[in-house]
Structure 1
Amino acid sequence: MTTGTLAAAAVSAAPGTPAWHALFDGAAVGVAQADPYSGALLDVNTRLCAMLGRDAAQLLGRSFLDVTHPEDRGWNWDAFRAMVRGEVPGVTLEKRLLHADGRALWTLMSVHLLRDAEGRPLRTIAVVMDITDRRVAEAALGDSEQRLQLALDASGLGEWELDLEAGVFRGSAQVLDLFDLPRDTPQPLDVAEWRSRLHPDDVESLWAWEAAAAEGRPFQGEYRLLLPGGRERWVAHHARPVPERPGHRRRVIGTLGDITERRHGEQALRQARDELESRVVERTEALERLNAALHNEVAERRAIEEQVRDLLGQLVVAEEEERRRLSRELHDGVGQHLTALSLGLKAACDEQVAPAVLRDRLLRLQAAVRQMEDEIDRLSHELRPPALDDLGLEEALRELVQAWSRAADTPAEFYGHGLLHHLPPPVEATVYRIVQEALTNVRKHADAGRVAVVLERRGALLRAIVEDDGCGFEAEPASPRGPMRRRLGLRGMSERAALVGGQLEIESRPGAGTTIYLSVPLPPLDDLMSRST
């Protein structure tokens, strides 16, 4: 029962009768009687007292304006007086009443006038319903709708509502803009208007939407609208069915948004990606071809380097063989002739019949021959030391260091470790010549007070170290002005090491001496043992 019908029923019931008390005291809403001239409350039911947080004694005799919100008193009194004057049969209004704790309660009030037998105003009857919760919900809904509209406006989305049974829809101004329709277009619009603007290639999207709407399912999709002039507009479509209620038509609500710019951007991005992928494929293929060509070139260079290394190795072997032959010829050929000559001179000197002058000349010739014999022995030894063939690299270097120490008048020490077998001839010859060249450089340039030579095997690596405490120099091999460029001896040593796959390193600093490190890879120990046997 509404407040109006309840008030009408109260008016029809005579005050003081059982029907009156049943309506007045048993009503689930507030009911009050008031004086039509002053507005003073004459009677209130318990429901109204509970609604206002007051008892009847606090209300009776006071004007209803005393419990009315100050902002509502003026127009409320005007409406009350218009009813009393007979200008209106009754008043139905929404106003605020004041609770005892100061809160404002929104109420729906229906007021009717009772007249006596002569038609004079007797009293008013008001039926009051608390609608505070409804008004708060309406305010919240209004705020929510405003925020939603603000969000839709900011995002460019348009909202629409479709009546499934009538086949018509209503759209916001943004929806009309998307359909390229004037904003004052009469609504609702027939859904055929929507269908007519759909791109033929995207008709399946419409079918999917209509099927979802018929089944009460949400739908979202993207399709194109065909506009006048052949223009196309991409839109994002979101739809959701409204829950059915008895007595209401089946409806679907949703949004439409213009995504043309986004789709064009995506298309441009796809094209750019495809072009990039095509370029990547082309570049990859080109790089693969270049890589294959480079691989072939590297393989060819390695093969050439290997051939050069083999040739240089053969050259080293040939050089050492030539040195051995020359050393042998000097020792066995020239040396023997000089020995015979020396013996002949000695025998001539021993002849008593030789004049003194001749004997003196013979003695000088004998001394020159002995000097030539010593020089021949030295040259023969330097060309190919016998110890290198007879005793191996370690003993040959030991003899070299001892001989160098005597010749240079400089203390020198030799340390050997780990060499139990002969090494390949090219390796022995290369290491010997590099150490020999290093000692020669020390004697010429270092002004050293002490020298040490180390020869050791570490696994598959042979290391030779020549160290002195001489004047040193700036060792910067990477610099074009460094010692590897200035000193041909050092360059020759490095090139010799490379012939057998070795590496030469130099550490030196002015005033701190010099250390030369030679590293040469060795074949497996089994190969060395078989070569030695």
Structure 2
Amino acid sequence: MQETFSQDPYLTVIISTLLLLFFVCLLTYFFFRQQKKRFQHEQEVIELRESFNQTILQSKLEIQDRTLQHIAEELHANFSHLVSLININLSAILPQSSGDVKEHISETKALAKQLMTEVKALSVSLNSDFIMKTGFVKALENELDRLAKTRQYEVSLTKSGSLVKLPPGQEVVLFRLCQEILNNVVKHAEATKVEVTLNYADHSLTAQVKDNGKGFDVKEASAKSAEKESTGLLNMANRARLIQADFELMSNPGSGTVVTVVLPLNQ
């Protein structure tokens, strides 16, 4: 009887300890479960926000693209027609002219013809339907040809690997991205040489645009772009993000600029 009584305190301690451990484990389980739910909720909020931002971005770019399409149609339909009429009128005046006047009219006709060619090339570069029909590479070649015809730049295009046809939407966005990079070279770089390389690998397309211009401080430009909500650098990064491409811009004052876009290819 005395032995059984003496064991009761030990049994009570063991049971109490087990119960305490059980409640600690239960509280720990509920704590981690709540943390997991909270984390999942935060992830869902982030995903929803990202999805919303992507939708807004895509809508903005679609509006821009429709605007460019409208401009291309207007250039082709109206501006080209007006240039043609100018050329017709000059042709009618030319036989009645002589000397310096005739020479000036002939030069003006040549300029009008050159203007017509430029307008058509510009119209093509703004036309998304043309880009989707001809493909990204051909559209980029046309853009580089237009740049070379200004005779202000030494332009080169190097291609490697097996060309892969991209989905139409990707081709348009990638071309607009490269077009914007080239426009920035024209507007800001003060360059004389533009080198473009396209490298098709097994699972990615790397497009790189390099110029020998004056360069700039990337961090400073990015900060100013964010503060002023400028559309230059932000637009390029946003277009790359829209097609899940990696975007890298490297530049230093006095050493030119290199822009690299790596687009994953869905096999």
- Higher strand fraction (1 or 2): 1
Q: CA deviation at 1:518?
A: 0.8
Q: 1:486 to 1:289 in 2, by over 3 A?
A: same
From 72, 83, 105, give the equivalent of 1:338. Answer: 83
Aligned to 1:84: none
Aligned to 1:456: 199
2:73 is aligned with 1:328:
yes
Alignment check: 8 A CA contact 1:394 1:419 kept: no
Deviations 1:347-366 (A, max 9, x none): 2x1474x9x9xx89x959x6
Q: Distance in 2 between matches of 1:337 and 1:311?
A: 38
Q: 1:337 to 1:403 in 2, by over 3 A?
A: closer
From 476, 481, 485, give the equivalent of 2:223. Answer: 485
SS of the aligned residue for 1:451 comes to strand
Q: TM-score, normalised by structure 1?
A: 0.40
Q: CA deviation at 1:501?
A: 1.7
Letter in 1 for 2:40: H
SS of the aligned residue for 1:501 comes to coil
Aligned to 1:410: 153
2:201 is aligned with 1:397:
no
Q: CA deviation at 1:327?
A: 1.3
Q: 1:474 to 1:315 in 2, by over 3 A?
A: closer
Aligned to 2:34: 289
Q: 1:506 to 1:299 in 2, by over 3 A?
A: same
Q: CA deviation at 1:500?
A: 1.6
Alignment check: 8 A CA contact 2:125 2:139 kept: no
Q: Distance in 2 between matches of 1:369 and 1:511?
A: 36
Aligned pair count reads 254
Q: 1:319 to 1:511 in 2, by over 3 A?
A: closer
2:245 is aligned with 1:499:
no
Deviations 1:279-321 (A, max 9, x none): 5643442332242243244235435534653564465455435
Q: TM-score, normalised by structure 2?
A: 0.72
Q: 1:400 to 1:275 in 2, by over 3 A?
A: farther
Asked which structure has the greater RCO (Cα within 8 Å, sep 6+), the reply is 2
Alignment check: 8 A CA contact 1:502 1:519 kept: yes
5+ unaligned residues in a row in structure 2: which ranges? none
Q: CA deviation at 1:483?
A: 3.4
Q: Distance in 1 between matches of 2:187 and 2:70?
A: 29
Equivalence map 1:381-392=2 (5 Å): 381-384=124-127, 388-392=131-135
Letter in 1 for 2:154: P
Letter in 1 for 2:260: Y
SS of the aligned residue for 1:416 comes to strand
Equivalence map 1:292-331=2 (5 Å): 292-299=37-44, 301-303=46-48, 305-306=50-51, 308-310=53-55, 312-313=57-58, 316-317=61-62, 319-331=64-76
277-286 or 494-503: bigger deviation:
277-286
Deviations 1:418-442 (A, max 9, x none): 4545422221122212222222333
Alignment check: 8 A CA contact 1:313 1:500 kept: no
Equivalence map 1:421-436=2 (5 Å): 421-436=164-179
Q: Distance in 2 between matches of 1:467 and 1:416?
A: 14
Equivalence map 1:64-143=2 (5 Å): none
Q: 1:469 to 1:313 in 2, by over 3 A?
A: same
Alignment check: 8 A CA contact 2:177 2:236 kept: yes
From 246, 260, 263, give the equivalent of 1:517. Answer: 260
Q: 1:342 to 1:444 in 2, by over 3 A?
A: closer
Q: CA deviation at 1:454?
A: 1.3
- Give the structure with higher Rg (CA): 1
- Higher helix fraction (1 or 2): 2
SS of the aligned residue for 2:166 comes to coil
Q: 1:381 to 1:302 in 2, by over 3 A?
A: same
Alignment check: 8 A CA contact 1:475 1:507 kept: yes
Q: Distance in 2 between matches of 1:324 and 1:445?
A: 25
> RMSD between aligned alpha carbons?
4.0
Aligned to 1:201: 5
Letter in 2 for 1:288: R
Q: 1:411 to 1:375 in 2, by over 3 A?
A: closer
